[in-house]
Structure 1
């Protein structure tokens, strides 16, 4: 898939998630998600912080100034925990705002910067272009994790056909074990 098409697909799955969260109530976001120990508020906050983290990687690739996705694994977890108990209005504003900031960072990426190597915490390095598929998988899989009626049968055909290593492997292990 060409990059421009993938960017459009990321926008589409993000819009679908934002719309779904907009239909939730404060009580809904405090209920358990399908991820052990996380409420729906945790999942929504995680998706928002993921947009921020991946935007950091795009800034790194664009400017050449190393900008970590997260300060540390502990800071990542703390950020999720801190935001999880907000109202649905607060969660929705964070989710949509972080998604818009991510999309703006994608928009200003010069062509030559998509090949710059970046990494998340202790992961292996990967080209900045990989951020797009990582974002799509975070949005689609965590939309599923909310447990609000969106599942693999609802995934866009293009996403269901994509070969993903870790996110899909983990998803399948957790659900099919």
Structure 2
């Protein structure tokens, strides 16, 4: 599982991702928010509600790390879904302010987390055991991937290289452990090796952003090439 150290550089990656998102939300209208996102069944308002509510959930894990008191992200999936649905009914301006306030709050929380808490073991909603360094990856991933899901002109090719590399590492780790991931090697458009699943199989080549979009199920492989033209069929990402 990919983890990040609690350094100024890491916090800057997360802060910059939040700033890019908020710049695209500056002129969001109620009609814009109600329009469909690129996620099936979710409007843009659902995506923004999730992004803000996710901070509350991650802060529950950070409270667990800080105090030793077990505090799950959510009571159950139904509670998570209800929270997102309820939040999605807010006007665009309120949603944007929630995203802004939650982004600021998350950065304050992680910057102030005591050193011993970074070694504590917690369990996210997905079930794995991890330390808070994993929470930093989750937050960066959610900001960047869901920014593309909004369909406001920000794509995987716009994600800066340092963040793309973190997310490629993270998503590749998940797929490497998943059932049904076919053997293949991924190389970027300079020919540099990005990752490999198993041994053998075709070589998939393309820009790092396009590789990330494919691995996360956000594209069918636009911008990528493989021998014979057919890309391997990947299992669903989370």
State the alpha-carbon separation in 2 of the partners of residues 45 and 30 from structure 1. 12
Query: Partner residue of 1:60?
Result: 64
TM-score for both structures, normalised by structure 2: 0.70
* Residue 157 of structure 2 is aligned to residue 113 of structure 1: no
* Residue 129 of structure 2 is aligned to residue 125 of structure 1: yes
TM-score for both structures, normalised by structure 1: 0.92
* Residue 200 of structure 2 is aligned to residue 156 of structure 1: no
Structure 1 segments (4+ residues) deviating >6 Å: none
Query: Partner residue of 2:216?
Result: 172
Q: Cα RMSD (Å) of the superposition?
A: 1.9
Contact 2:49 2:95 in 1 (8 A): yes
CA shift for structure 1 position 23: 2.2
Structure 1 residues 122, 151: CA separation in 2 closer, same or farther (over 3 Å shift)? closer
Contact 2:29 2:92 in 1 (8 A): yes
Matches within 5 A, 1:1-177: 2-4=5-7, 5-162=9-166, 163-165=169-171, 166=174, 172-176=216-220
Query: Cα deviation per residue 1:71-108 (whole Å; 9 max; x = unaligned)?
Result: 21110000000011211111011111111221121122
Structure 1 residues 106, 159: CA separation in 2 closer, same or farther (over 3 Å shift)? same
Query: Partner residue of 2:208?
Result: none
| Structure 1 alignment gaps of length 5 or more | none
State the alpha-carbon separation in 1 of the partners of residues 85 and 214 from structure 2. 22
Query: Cα deviation per residue 1:91-129 (whole Å; 9 max; x = unaligned)?
Result: 011111111221121122111211211112251111111
> How many equivalent pairs are there?
177
Structure number with greater Rg is 2
Structure with the higher fraction of residues in helix conformation: 1
